[in-house]
Amino acid sequence: MAGVLERLRLSARAYRRVLRVALTLADLLGKPRPERAELMEAIGYRQLDRQRQG
């Protein structure tokens, strides 16, 4: 999981935010830890947000 986030070259703050969203998604699905699917969804939300900000 960390490898994917490192390849995106996120700042420490952005890394933490993506991880927090992935943890929330996993929690909503009743999973103890986020898996790749939750991480990818969280990254997708971040990219959507960045596109909006232009």
Q: What is the largest CA-CA distance in the chain?
A: 35
Q: pTM of the prediction?
A: 0.80
Give the model's pLDDT for residue 1. 63
Structural domain boundaries in the chain: 2-53
> Which pLDDT score is estimated for 2?
65
How many Cβ atoms sit within 10 Å of the Cβ of residue 51? 8
The Cα–Cα gap between 14 and 47 comes to: 11
Residue range 1-54, pLDDT digits in tens: 667 767 888 888 988 999 999 999 999 999 999 999 999 999 999 887 667 766
Residue 36 identity:
R
Hey, what are 17's tokens?
Answer: 């935010």
